[in-house]
Structures are given as structure tokens and as C-alpha cells.
Structure 1
Amino acid sequence: MQFDFLKNAVLTALHRGLSIRQFRRLAMLEFLRGGAVGKEMPRTLADRLHALSRLTTDHLLQQLDTRADGLSEDEAAQRREQAGLNEIQHERPLSWPAHLWLCYRNPFNVLLTLLAVISYLTEDAKATLVIAVMVVISTLLRFVQEQRSNSAADRLRDMVSNTATVLRRDDTVPLTRLRYGTAEGTEVAIRQLVPGDIVLLSAGDMIPADLRLLSAKDLFVSQAALTGEALPVEKFATLRDAGVASPLELDNLLFMGANVVSGSASAVVIATGGQSYFGALAERVTAHDHTPTQFQAGVNQVSWLLIRFMLAMAPLVLLINGFTKGDWLEAALFALSIAVGLTPEMLPMIVTSTLAKGAVLLSRKRVIVKRLDAIQNFGAMDILCTDKTGTLTQDHIVLERHTDAFGAPADDVLALAYLNSYHQTGLKNLLDVAVLEHVELKRLLDVAGDHHKVDEIPFDFARRRMSVVVSEHGAHHLLICKGALEEMLAVCTQVRQDGRTLPLDDERLAQIRAVTAGLNQEGLRVVAVATRELPPLRQTYGVADEAGLTLVGYIAFLDPPKETTAPALRALAAHGVAVKVLTGDNELVTLKVCKEVGLPVTGLLLGSDTDAMDDATLAAAAETATVFAKLSPLQKERLVRVLRANGHVVGFLGDGINDAPALRAADIGISVDSAVDIAKEAADLILLEKSLMVLEEGVLEGRRTFANMLKYIKMTASSNFGNVFSVLVASAFLPFLPMLPMHLLVQNLLYDVSQIAIPFDRVDEEQLRRPLRWDPDELGRFMVCFGPLSSLFDIATYALMYFVFHASTPAHQTLFQSGWFIEGLLSQTLVVHLIRTRKLPFVQSRAAWPLLGMTLLIAAVGVFLPMGPLAHYFKLQPLPWTYFPWLAAILLGYVSLTQYAKSHYARRYGWQ
């Protein structure tokens, strides 16, 4: 019963599709909700949180030894030395002994170790040594590659760090400054926060540590990652109910792992890192995510396919050799060798090194990989959902026009919009920046100086508008509201025309919609501005005050399309990636932009249309539609989910708080370095340049990475299966073993070493034209088709050794085994070049030099072992030179037949 919290966490995480990090947090909170508060959790921590929530602001700041204007850089540095970085302890990497053990502990190495123990007990020292070398090489290569991979990934992740806005006094280092009304904030990395820091919060920010609120305005916080509650909760600067049991329910406390949905606030850091509420539980609860990603599931399916082949073939080899030769111990060792021969023991190393190389190459293309497994999804992506602003367009919004409600130029509308943008402290967006950077800035600054801010009603994605209340010399209060047209019209009852205030009747509404539609068709994004005069009787205002407004006009923005968007869209289409635009913007503006960038629009759906459809209807409509406009965050998420349910691998590119649900729902979440914190946290990839061209390059690199992994699996699976099939045939007819266990192991070891260079191989352009996915069924078909091809020429080698060179008795078995050893190894190295491409190898498609050099080296070693001075040690013997012309003919026949089979197979099943 004590582990019920884990079961609940798993079920909730699976239901909501949460990330690994969210799952960990969810498991910990399930632990609390299961009765751990006051029991498993340290009582002193809960008591301290309750005590801090009750303190007055002055006493709180005094106890934390800080001030309302924040710490200095020197004070923050001193506290960082004492408290450490703001990091959770469980996120630290494994120690090298633990990592080394993890690299060893896989089914393939366990099989090899078992065979080594049996060889040692039977006093076969040579076989023991060879197997031990295989295990050591496999383990050490994986260890070294993963260490390098982890180091590279850490360096890349350090390039994209989430930040928090804090107050710093007496700054000695030039830092980015952001304006928040009358307060100025400094952006610092979240890991640099210390107790006593004053943090400024707005919509889209992650809660970077445990905080006590100092001020809050319409602050709603999502704690779903902590409590599992789907709806945001409102937080206040004052404590309304001190009697709640759980610290999570305290009104004036915020906890690491949550995020701000709407509103603004200032707060003081009360705990960081391991001393935070979440950090204290991290040491007590180990919650690992056992749900495999699509990539991990694919690797697991492939591994189990090979294991099933092994379980079927190894007993068959044992029985045939046991009954025909009579030596059951030798037959058992041989069967175990066959089992080892079917296991791709280098698979973990190849996968890790290939992904690591892909991540480094993507970083050179300004794509930062947060999770290595995401590279496979990048290559498999066939639908990219993207916002319009900053992706199709330049992300440099210019205030193009300011007009009254009927389209005539109006400076007073610009002045009102400026006052709204100047005094707002909530969600920061490019529209406000464009207003504040207008050419008439100097005159408008004088206007702003005459007005004093009273209050504000922050933006949220349900209302799609925000308001500030200002006072001019204390005479009256003026509420200035700006937002999306339809949402603004819903709260307007009057309109200003030629200095007169008139009722907003149906005729004027029709005129207004005609004017704004015309602006939209020109590609302009329209934001409506409205006002309401109020008596100066109070200092606090809320959403209810956004009623009975007077529409005064519009500010219209232009965001020109990027020059690179059209060629990038063509390139993505050529590589099998369909682009769909999911935006909260107006459909007319979106259609205009799509036309300018050459994106064919085959269908349009509005957010209200999607709400009227069930999942099945929406799934069918989403297949054909290209543009989805006026979407809420949850509507974006739902569209991503139905596209995934249709069997697509869906990528989502977004940078705002409204994109976070869709980023989590997508197979691969893609964000940008300039995104809000919660978007970067939810993403798998971070683009350092917000461009579809960069994304197209990343898709191709992801496909190259995945294609090289598929090469290794296909080569190894088909070659090993062919060898085992050959052994079955030979075992049934020969009076001796066709190859000793040690020969099989050495051959397998040499072949595996030749594969180390696969991550550096080239990939044919044809393989990059469409998405690549795991397909275990296709792998099984490939094994059955190409494996027996090599067996035909193995049997030809048997006949050659048996009838031409008369190696037909146990006395001549060493000659027979030496002949097959060379032919088997050379055919295996040849298959690397035959199967790596659909084209004619060495002529139409040549392997990269590292792979070509490695296979030539291994082929030379394979010939040297029987022909050189070490032959006796390996129980081999030199072959007559007349053997090699026959060998050349056999290998030429193998190449010709395999090339023909490739063409036939590709025409019927395709070539991945």
C-alpha cells in the first residue's frame, strides 16, 4: 500500500502525457497527497513554510536579510557560496562506476559473460579471452561514447538556460535590463538564484524557486505539474486562510515547478535547490519514468525481435549438433556461440554514438538537442505545426497605422495605446514593443508623464485583452483597454466618431467589421483600443470593470514574411513534411501571409469550428486543413493530439505560454532561445534561430542520424541470421562442427569492430526525402530475405572445401573451418557496403572514409589470422593460394545476387 502513490502518479502521467520531469514531480506530490505531510516530509519544513506565510512583509524581509529593492551582486554571490546553486540533487549525473555498470548491464553482455564462464569452467582459455575482449570492448566503447555524449549534451544545454527576472541593486556587471512599470529587473539564470532574491513574475514565467508573494495582480498559477490539478489557482499577496494543512494550498506561497498563467507579481525567494519544497522530497522519493519514448520503444521492439530469433535458432543448433556429433558439451558451447552471434552487442554503443554525433552536428546548425532520443522523432516527423508570427514572418512587428473606428487616421488612438503599453507589467509581447518604439516616442513620453498608473488588469488567453487604469493629475480615472477585435466588441457598447460618442448599433458594427476586414486583407494585424471613464473612488480594478467601454479605434501592425520562408516551405514539402499553421491570430491575416510565402491552403478551420466537432470529425478535417486560426492553447493541444492519433509524427514549433500545452502534446516540441520559460521547458529542441530553414536542416540531420542506426541493425540482423542458417545446414551434413565456438566469436568480434565507424557514414539523398520510422515488421522481412542469400554462398564454400580441397573428414576440419572463416568474414564486411545503400556500392554510392577504412582493415585481419603466424593459436591453418580465385568468384556472385535482390526488394517494399 505504501507504493500506491507511485501507481497513481504513473496513471495520471500516462493519462496527461506528462514529461519525465513533470512525472517525477507528480509522483512526489502523490506521495504527499497520500498522507506524507507531517509524516514522511520533515515537520520542520512544513512548519517553516507555514510560519513564513504568516509573517508581515517587513518581518519577512528582515528574517531573510534582504530589502524590497533586492540584493547586490556581491551579496548574491556570497549567499550562492553558502546555499549552493538552485538545482535539484536528483538531476546530477551518475558516478562513473555506476555509469560503467549500467553500460555493462544489458542482455547481450550478460549472454557473453555466461558463455565466458562456461568456457572458463571447461578450461577453454582462448575462448574465454576472446569473449572477455568482446565484453570489455562493447562496455568501454559504450561508456566512453556516452560520457562524451553526456558532456556534449550538457554543454549544449548550458547554451539554453531558463532565466528569472530579479531586482539587483548596485549592479557592477552590465546586464540586460527590462522595464516593469517603475521597477527594473535583471535577467539571471534560474540556477543562480539565492534566498532573499526579489523576483518579478509575469505570464509565461516558470516559478524558479520557492517564493513568498510580496505583491500580486490577478495572478493565476498552474500547479498541474505538482498537484495534478488541471485548472490554474489564484494566488494573493496576503494570506486568506492560515489553517490549511498542505503548504501547497497557502495563498501567498509559490513553489518550484509551477508556472504563471496570467497576471503579474513580485516575490521573495525563501528556498532554493535541495532546500525547496520539491528538493526536500527529491531525496526521499525515487520516481523514474518507466514509460518508453517512441524511440526507446522502437529499439526495444527490434531487440526483442532478434532475441526471439535467437531463442528459436540456438536450441535447434544444439539438438542437431548434439544428435549428429554426439558431443553435447561441444554442441552446447556451439549453440551459445550461435546465440551470441545473433545478438547485436554493439547496438547500445552504435545508438548512443550516432545520437551524440547527430546532436553535435545539429548544434552547428544552431539547433540545441535537450533530449538525444528526440533526434529520431525529428527525422520521423511528417507534420510540422507552427505559429505564424516569427516563423513565417520576420518577428519584427511594425506599427503601420493608427485609425479611428471607421478607418480615418487618429493620433489620440496612438496616445491611448501608448499609455496602455507603457504602464502594463504583465505578458510582454512584440505589439507593445512596436508601440513603444514608434517614431512619435518623444511626444508620447510627455503624454505618459502626465498620467499616473492606478491599476492594471493583466492579459490572459481567455479574454485576449488587457487594461490599465490611469489618472491624469488625480482628476479622474481612465480605463484603457486594448485587445483582439471580437473580444473587445463583446465589452463595448459605444463608439467614438468625429469627437462624438455614439451607440454601437448593428449598422455601425457592420461598418467596423468591414473596415477591420479590409485591414486584415492587407496583411495587417488589428488591435482594438477602447476606454471608459471612472470616478476616482478606488485603487483596485478587475475584469468586471471591462464593461460598457467606448471603442475609439485601432492600431494596425505589419509583420512582413521572411525571405527564407518560401524556399524553406518548398524544401520541407520536398522532404515529406507537411506544414500546418496553428495560430491565435485572425484568419484573414493568416491567409494573406500564407499566400505571400507560397504555402498552399487546402482548408481553413477556426477555433470555434473545432469545438463543434468530436475527435473523429476533427481528425478527418485536420488531415485536409492547412490553416487553423483563432485558436486557444487547449485547441492547439487538441489538434496536435488528433493528428498524432491519425498516425502522424507531429512536431510543434512555438515560443509562447499559449504554446506550452501543444509543445508537450507533440512527438517533438520545438522552441526558440527567446521563448518564455515554460515553452523552453516543454520543448525537446531549442532553435537558436527562429527559422524554418534551420528547421529543415535539422530534419535532414535527424534523418541521417536515424538512417545510420538502421544500417547497423539491418546489416547485423541479416548477416547474423544468414550465418546461423548456414550453420544449421552444415551441422546437419558434416561429420564435424563447421566452425569452432572460438571462430564464431572472433568473427563476430571483428565484424562488430568494423561497425564502429557507421555513425560517420554518408547517407544517400534518396533516403532523406521522406520520414524514417522504426518498423520491426520490415526488419524481420529484411532478415528473412537477405540472410539466406549469404547462406547460398556459404554452402558454395562448403562444397568448395569438401569436394575441391577434400576437407571432408574430422582430420581435415581445420582446413574446412579456415576456408569458411575467411569467406564468412569477407562476406560480412561486404554486406556492410551492399546494404548501406540501395545503389551500386563503391560506384554509385561510396561509404565515408572512416567506414571504408575500418572494413578494409578488418578484412585484412580476417585473411591474416589463418594465413599468418597466429593461425595455430586460433586453431586455424593457412589455405592454398588456389583457394583465393575460387573465393573471388564466390564473393562476386554474392555481390551480384544481393544487388539484384536489393532492386527487387526495393521495388516491392521500398528501401528505408
Structure 2
Amino acid sequence: MIKIYARQLFTRFYRHLPRRLFQRDLMLDGLKTNARRGVPAALARICLECAQASVPALYMRFASRPQGLDEAEAAAARRRYGLNNVAAEQPLTWRRHLWACYRNPFNILLTVLGIVSYGTDDTIAAVVIALMVMIATLLNFIQEARSNRAADALKAMVSNTATVLRAGRPDGGVYHEIAMDQLVPGDIVKLAAGDMIPADLRLLQARDLFIGQAALTGEALPVEKKAGALNDRPTNPLECGNLCFMGTNVISGTALAMVIGTGDRTWFGQLAEQSTSQCAPPNAFQLGISRVSWLLIRFMLVMTPVVLLVNGFTKGDWWEAALFSLSVAVGLTPEMLPMIVTSSLAKGAVQLSRQKVIVKRLDAIQNFGAMDILCTDKTGTLTQDKIVLASHIDAFGHRSERVLENAWLNSHHQTGLKNLLDKAVQEKMADDAAGPALARWRKIDEIPFDFERRRMSVIVADGGGQAHLICKGALEEMLGVCSRVRHGDQIVPLSAGLLAQIGEVTAGLSLQGLRVVAVAARPVAADRGDFSRLDESDLILEGYIAFLDPPKESAAPALEALAKHGIQVKILTGDNERVAAKVCRDVGLSVNRMLTGDEIEGMDDRQLGLIARVTTVFAKLTPLQKARIVSALRRDGHVVGFMGDGINDAPALRAADIGISVDSAVDIAKEAADIILLEKSLMVLEEGVIEGRRTFVNMMKYIRMTASSNFGNVFSVLVASAFLPFLPMLPLHLLVQNLIYDISQIAIPFDKVDEEQLRRPQGWRSGELGRFMVFFGPISSIFDILTFGLMWWVFKANTQEQQGLFQTGWFVVGVLSQTLIVHMLRTRKIPFLQSRPSWALGVTTLAVMMATIGMTFTPVAGFLHLQALPGGYWPWLVAILAGYMALVQSMKGWYVRRYGWQ
């Protein structure tokens, strides 16, 4: 039970680094199980009342109007209801933050040891331990406060917004964008495909609105929502067709809605309180930190009793042995680890922001550096984020203005999310041609796009009462609903021979690297007011529009740079395989194998995992297939990043170890991502990866140095305790030595990193840490034993009366060797010559060494039970330290050849 509780304590502590970087989608898994229970009855009653109320009654209830609230009314409502943030997103007060910084396993352990010291009248030891805890807590508090402020500033650069209607504005009350946290009950918001639902809403108008609310209900398919009061009396608000809830997102369609609940007064907010009180499964970063911490704690739990027994049996004074082993336990506690981790991550986040990379979750930085596979779409990353309509032809390859006009009518009148293809069509249609077409046709209805059908339709009518359904979409899906084809002025049945001819025409376009979209139409009854996807049948194939997606000039060098840094790039796209392969060839990406969505459907997860290893291009994918591929690669042991910016990318962004999006992405993609790029470029991504690795390497420096140094000290203590008639060092000496060593580590997060350590992915390897500790720790013990011999035989410190001289001699060697090992183990190269530390680390090291030496000549020495060392000691000290550094350097070369150097 103790071990289980301790693991929970570790997980809770490291999950909040820093605590302000809360991300909504991290709670979503826990929300589904609580969605139908646990929400206060009062909130459910309010939702049901709003669902059944008429629109005038809603306006009266929230003191609103069709033109929306004015600025003064919104400000008053904001003072009454507060910001639109759930409880978990609220900043901690400084008192709670300080308590949270103290409440970590290492500080709690030190506090217990300090209380024991005080209870045994060892006041000096208790004071030193309290000082260590205070320094560690305050440093962590200061670093987290800085990182929180930096994180808030960074997140504000990419914060999601809502489209709201404000009354009484000089511009006449038009829609404009405001931050989601500024919404208040009574606000009128506009929704479109790709938007996050910013609060709990009651629909006022809706057009083909489909909501993805799997996060709350577990329903895999989107749910259609419609406006209008409910006539029946539902019992579950989640089943009300005219309500939308915070945390869900718009898949397709448009709507106008009124805010009925914000912040903690939303369904999401109430469930969040319950979900955040439970421990979410730790991610790779948290698991790595936990494994390393447990390795150090297990080492302490094993070695401390051994020190107690050896000293007790050899000295006969069990009380003194207990105090000494207590000090050893304090010395083995890596109390600076939380501060080092926080400082490293915060520094990495600020540095990444200068490179146009915004970090939403700090622990994602380590995953950034550990990433070895990057999955991405090609549009906007390998290709320019601008598409040009290259041709508009009929089914037989002849230029056709009719096809262009039909495509333009479809793109212009659709109200969903307009993508780059729609923009290219609208730009191609000249103004002198668009004007008459717009005057001739009026819109009746539309059938929005979804990723299952991969097409969308609009229904338009002319002044003469003729109505047409105009559909455009992916070629194969379009051919499945076409039964006829336009050949000149004739309509002919779509035969097998014509299908073969169509295939030749479209294949030729694809081989040129053009994206092909089919356009079809058919007459419909003009007096119908509501159309559905069932009406997309018996269509007449009009022709195709083909788009040129030119590659970026920076794509090829960026791919080459990623490959040099050990990152394999895989393309996951909804386009066909021919277009994807052509783009890959243009940017120099070698295609080992291609796989289509239809082939993936016939595979189980094991088969997909095996084939995904060797596949470069995955084409014609659905959103869930993208997520399946990412999950399969993760199960294969890879650290997978996914880069996407569309609605269809959200499942894969959540499935990846690190989700990467851009500031121009749809809301749901930005919400699901861990990293936001301010520039959609693989070159920017490569710079972020390098900074992630630099951050991780600096964290590992502290862990390696602490582990190996602690192991060597304990080994030396055991040897000395077995043969000396007195303690090799007083408990107070061990505590002060550990305090000085901790101070020397403060600058590690700001240290330089060797170029070689940035070339390969970096990940947690607790087994390698244990080997490193056992290998390098005893090296220091060799020179400790030489110091014992020096003090015993050369300086005759071999009696009880001379133990102070012995202990002072080893104290100085111990502090200086532990300080120098920072520079020896921070690099695989020759320190100071081939690899220079940062100025901060250099200054800190020099200050600590001078303070330690000066300590023996000042009145502080008497307080610490130290004494002045003879002049003959100092040449021996230089020789011991030089020999120690030379041996460590030579052993590093052997270790690197045998095991490598992460």
C-alpha cells in the first residue's frame, strides 16, 4: 500500500509541471464515464428548462436580445458569472502554489528526517535539512511562477476565439472574434465547421449542424442538432437535440446559438471537477521521471540500513551510527530534481517561442526531443499552403466552362468550412463571370461535407424555377453516386467502357501531380425545402477540376535535416496515392511503400503495425484510420508526432505522443495539440526538436551526476566505516556537503549541450542510468580511499583526537570532486577544452569551490566542526583531483565505445 500511495504521489506531482498548463482534452477520457451521472441536479434542470423554452423566453431569462448583448451588459455579466474557465484552469493562489511546490516526495522525506534529527537533539542537522528544503521549495516556486507567466503569455498567442454578436457597436452589431474566456450567458455566438463549442449553448438557428460529442457521451458518430424548442420532456440534457455542450466540436454545418452556461456552470465544468480529482494515466514523460525517481529512492532505502549496520557493529555506538545513516539518507535524496525539471522545461518553452513554436504542455518538450517518427499531411508542410486551380475539364478531358461554373456555385454557396480548394475555385472564377452566375442562381439548401462520404452538395434554383443539386468531391466516391455522364450536349449512361476512359483521363492528371475533384449535378424539384445525403444519387458526371499543389522550396532541406536527426517522416493524407507519391518525389522523400485506406480496413491492429513500419505514404485515409496508424506505430515502440490542422486530424493529434498543429488551424485541432507552430514549416519543426533534445539532455545531466556521485559517496562511507575507529565524516558534514552540491546544480538547466547529443532522439532509459551509476560512482571511491590513506599515514590523522583533521580533509575533497564531476559528466568530450560549459555553470562552480576552501580558514569552520588544513595538503589535493579527472575522462572513452552516450 505504501508503494502504491507513493507512486500516486509521484504521478500527481509530476503531472503538474507547471500547473497552469492545463489542457481540456486530457480530461476527456474521464468525462465519458461520468457524463450521465455526478452532475448536480440543479444544472441538469437548468439545461432542460432552456431546451424547452421558447426563443423569446430565452431572451428574457438571460436579459439578451437578437442583436446580442452590448459591451456594458457583457461586462456586468462577466462580473457576476466570472470568466468562462473551468475550475482546473484557474490559477493557484501563491499560498496554494507554495504548498504544492513543497509537497513532493523528496521534500516530505527530508522533512521527516529533519523532524527525527530535531527530536534527537541534533539541532544543527535539523537546521541544515530545513535550509535544504526551503531552498529547494523556493527555487521550485520561483521557477514555476516564471514558467506559469511565460506559459500564459505563450498560450495567449494561440488562444481559441468565439464569433460573437455585440449590440450597440458603431459598426452596427456585426460578428467579431473574442477570446472564449470572455463569453457570458446571454451572448449570441455563431458556429461553423471546425469550431469548438465554447460554452453550453441553446441553438437559435441551425443548418445541417452535426456535433462530435464523443468526449461526453462516447458516441462515435456525429450527432445532428436542430434549433427549436422541444415538445417532449426529456430527462437527460445530453439527449436534447437543441443543446450543445462545452468541450464538443462542430463537424459540419452552421448555427446561431445563445450561451446558457459558462465556466463551472457548464456540463463540462462540473464533470471536470470530478475527473481532475482522479489520477489520469501518466504519459511517457511522467513515467520516465517516476522510474528514475524510484531508482534513486530504492537505492537510498537499501544503502541507508547497510550504513547503519556497518557503523553500528564496527563502532559500537548505535546512536551515533543512526545519526550518521540518517545524514546519508539525506545526502542520497535528489531534492533538487523538481526544480531542475521545472527550470529545464520552462527555459525550453521560452526558447522555443523565439523559434515560432508555442508549447501548450511543458512535458511535451521531452516528447518533442524523443520523437523518432513524424506523421504529417503533405498540404502546407511538403507543399505550399496555397492551391491553384490548374484546369477545369469535362469527363473526356476537354476544357469546360460549365464545370467551372458548377464548381464555383458549390464552393460559393456552401456554408461549412471553406478549405483551400474552395478558395482556389473562387479565385479562378473571374468577377465578370461570377456576377451573372450569382444573379442567376439562389441557394435552396446544402448537404454538408463529411469524411465518410468525402463530398458535399448545394441545391440552387434559377429565376425560371429550375433547381439543380450540384455535388463535388473525391473521384471514387463521386463515381459511386453517378449513373450518367455529360458528353458534349448529350447525357449518356455511365458504362464500363466510359469508366475505363474516365480512369485514363484522371490517372493522367494524377501522374502530373494534380489533385482531381469530380463535379456532378442533376435536376431536382424546386419546391422541396429539405434535402439529405440520400438525394446524392443518379447524378450526371459533369467533369473534373484539377488543382496544382506546388512543393515548398524548404521541404527538401527540412526533410534532409529531420533524417539527419534520426526522425523518419511518414505521409498520412486523404488524397490519392498517385498525387502523394508525385509530391514525395518532388521533395526528395523516398517512398518505400504506399498503403491506402481501403487496404487498412482489411487489417487488424497487429498486421497494420507490421506494415506501418516500412510504409512511407498512407493515402485516401479517414480520420479514424489516421489515428489507427499513429497508435500502431506507438505500440511498436516509437515516439510518434502527428502534425495536422484540420477537423479530420483531431483523432490522430490526440492519439500521438505529441500533437503538433499551427495557429491557423481549426479550433478542434489547436485544442487537441500539445505544440503550436506559428509557421507551418518542417524547418521550424526541426528547430523545435533540437530544443526539446537540449532540454532533456540538461535534465539527464543532473540525474546522472546525482546518481553516480551518491553511489560513490556511499561506497566510500562503507569502506571507511569498516576500517576507521571514528566516523569518516560527521553527519553535519554530510548535510552541509549535500547543501553546497545542490547549490552548484542550479545553473544546469542553462548549460550548453554538445552537438552530438542533439543528433539522435533522446528518451528515458532507467536501466542505462543504473549502469551509469554503478560504473562511474566507484571511480570517485578510488580517490576517496586515496584521501583516507593520505590523511591517515601522511598527515597522521589516525586517532580520535585527530579525527577533525581527517574529516576536514575528506570534506574538502568530497565537495570539490562532486563539483568537478558536474563538468566531467556533462559531456563525452574533454571538458573546458573541447566542450565549454555555460558561463552561469562556470561561475557557480568557481564560487562553490572558493567558498568550500575558504570555509576552512574562517570562523565558520569551528561552527561546522572543521579545522584549518596544513599547507602540505593543498598540492596533494590538486594531484588527487587531477588524477580523478584524468581517470574519469579515460573511462568515459571506454564507456562510450561499449554503451554509447545518450
Q: What's the TM-score bracket when you normalise by the shorter of the two chains?
A: over 0.9
Q: Report the counterpart of residue 534 of structure 1 in structure 2.
A: 524
Q: Distance in 2 between matches of 1:240 and 1:390?
A: 44
Could you list the per-position Cα deviations for residues 231-254 of structure 1 after superposition, in whole angstroms to 9, with x for gaps in the alignment?
322222245662321111111111
Q: Report the counterpart of residue 4 of structure 1 in structure 2.
A: none
Contact 2:705 2:821 in 1 (8 A): yes
Could you list the per-position Cα deviations for residues 60-106 of structure 1 after superposition, in whole angstroms to 9, with x for gaps in the alignment?
34444434444445544444344332222332122211221221122
Contact 1:386 1:654 in 2 (8 A): yes
TM-aligned CA deviation for residue 726 of structure 1: 0.3
Could you list the per-position Cα deviations for residues 512-558 of structure 1 after superposition, in whole angstroms to 9, with x for gaps in the alignment?
11111111111111111111111223111110111011111111111
Q: Report the counterpart of residue 163 of structure 1 in structure 2.
A: 161
Match among 323, 326, 329 for residue 333 of structure 1: 323
Q: Report the counterpart of residue 18 of structure 2 in structure 1.
A: none
Q: Distance in 2 between matches of 1:375 and 1:419?
A: 46
Q: Distance in 1 between matches of 2:50 and 2:123?
A: 69
Matched to 1:875, the amino acid is H
Distance 1:96 1:644, change over 3 A: same
Matched to 1:559, the amino acid is D
Residues 685-834 of structure 1 correspond to what in structure 2 (within 5 A)?
685-834=675-824
Contact 1:26 1:227 in 2 (8 A): no
Matched to 2:634, the amino acid is R
TM-aligned CA deviation for residue 661 of structure 1: 0.5
Q: Report the counterpart of residue 851 of structure 2 in structure 1.
A: 861
Could you list the per-position Cα deviations for residues 465-513 of structure 1 after superposition, in whole angstroms to 9, with x for gaps in the alignment?
0000011015111111111111111111111122221111111111111
Contact 1:198 1:268 in 2 (8 A): yes
Q: Distance in 1 between matches of 2:740 and 2:464?
A: 87
Deviates more, 1:234-243 or 1:560-569: 234-243
Contact 1:474 1:536 in 2 (8 A): no
Residues 489-508 of structure 1 correspond to what in structure 2 (within 5 A)?
489-508=479-498
TM-aligned CA deviation for residue 390 of structure 1: 0.7
Q: Distance in 1 between matches of 2:413 and 2:183?
A: 27
Could you list the per-position Cα deviations for residues 170-224 of structure 1 after superposition, in whole angstroms to 9, with x for gaps in the alignment?
544799xxxxxxxx74332212222233222222221111111123233222222
**Counterpart check, 1:92 vs 2:93:** no
SS at match of 2:36: helix
Gaps of 5+ in 1: 1-9, 11-18, 176-183
Match among 16, 21, 25 for residue 24 of structure 2: 21
Q: Distance in 2 between matches of 1:30 and 1:638?
A: 22
Contact 2:25 2:672 in 1 (8 A): no
Distance 1:32 1:495, change over 3 A: closer
Q: Distance in 1 between matches of 2:413 and 2:140?
A: 56
Q: Report the counterpart of residue 232 of structure 1 in structure 2.
A: 222
Q: Report the counterpart of residue 41 of structure 2 in structure 1.
A: 42
Q: TM-score, normalised by structure 1?
A: 0.94
Deviates more, 1:24-33 or 1:471-480: 24-33
Distance 1:837 1:280, change over 3 A: closer
Matched to 1:33, the amino acid is R
Q: Report the counterpart of residue 407 of structure 2 in structure 1.
A: 417
Residues 238-637 of structure 1 correspond to what in structure 2 (within 5 A)?
238=228, 242-280=232-270, 287-438=277-428, 440-637=430-627
Q: Report the counterpart of residue 107 of structure 1 in structure 2.
A: 105
Q: Distance in 2 between matches of 1:32 and 1:691?
A: 39
Contact 2:372 2:568 in 1 (8 A): yes
Distance 1:72 1:417, change over 3 A: farther
Could you list the per-position Cα deviations for residues 262-281 of structure 1 after superposition, in whole angstroms to 9, with x for gaps in the alignment?
33322222222233233355
Contact 1:26 1:228 in 2 (8 A): no
SS at match of 1:879: coil
Q: Distance in 2 between matches of 1:636 and 1:865?
A: 63
Matched to 1:687, the amino acid is L
Contact 1:217 1:458 in 2 (8 A): no
Q: Report the counterpart of residue 195 of structure 2 in structure 1.
A: 205
Q: Distance in 2 between matches of 1:460 and 1:418?
A: 19
Deviates more, 1:225-234 or 1:63-72: 63-72
Deviates more, 1:472-481 or 1:72-81: 72-81
Matched to 1:107, the amino acid is P
TM-aligned CA deviation for residue 307 of structure 1: 0.9
Q: Distance in 2 between matches of 1:63 and 1:125?
A: 66
Distance 1:276 1:679, change over 3 A: same
Matched to 1:600, the amino acid is S
TM-aligned CA deviation for residue 230 of structure 1: 2.7
Contact 2:52 2:231 in 1 (8 A): no
SS at match of 1:437: helix
Could you list the per-position Cα deviations for residues 545-587 of structure 1 after superposition, in whole angstroms to 9, with x for gaps in the alignment?
1101111111111121111111110000000000000001111
SS at match of 1:663: helix
Q: TM-score, normalised by structure 2?
A: 0.95
Matched to 2:36, the amino acid is R
Q: Distance in 1 between matches of 2:222 and 2:126?
A: 62
Q: Distance in 1 between matches of 2:681 and 2:212?
A: 30
The percent identity for this pair of structures is: 63
Q: Report the counterpart of residue 126 of structure 2 in structure 1.
A: 128
Distance 1:233 1:119, change over 3 A: same
Deviates more, 1:612-621 or 1:198-207: 198-207
Contact 1:24 1:287 in 2 (8 A): no
TM-aligned CA deviation for residue 284 of structure 1: 7.0
Could you list the per-position Cα deviations for residues 344-384 of structure 1 after superposition, in whole angstroms to 9, with x for gaps in the alignment?
11000000000000000001111111101100000000000
Could you list the per-position Cα deviations for residues 803-851 of structure 1 after superposition, in whole angstroms to 9, with x for gaps in the alignment?
1111111110011011111111111111101100001111111111100
Q: Report the counterpart of residue 17 of structure 2 in structure 1.
A: none
Q: Report the counterpart of residue 180 of structure 1 in structure 2.
A: none
Contact 2:751 2:837 in 1 (8 A): yes
Could you list the per-position Cα deviations for residues 571-607 of structure 1 after superposition, in whole angstroms to 9, with x for gaps in the alignment?
0000000000000111111111111111111110001
Q: Distance in 2 between matches of 1:106 and 1:195?
A: 40
**Counterpart check, 1:149 vs 2:152:** no
Contact 2:35 2:217 in 1 (8 A): no
SS at match of 1:207: coil
Q: Report the counterpart of residue 652 of structure 1 in structure 2.
A: 642
SS at match of 1:872: helix
Q: Distance in 2 between matches of 1:637 and 1:24?
A: 19
Q: Report the counterpart of residue 36 of structure 2 in structure 1.
A: 33
Could you list the per-position Cα deviations for residues 413-438 of structure 1 after superposition, in whole angstroms to 9, with x for gaps in the alignment?
11111111111101221111111222
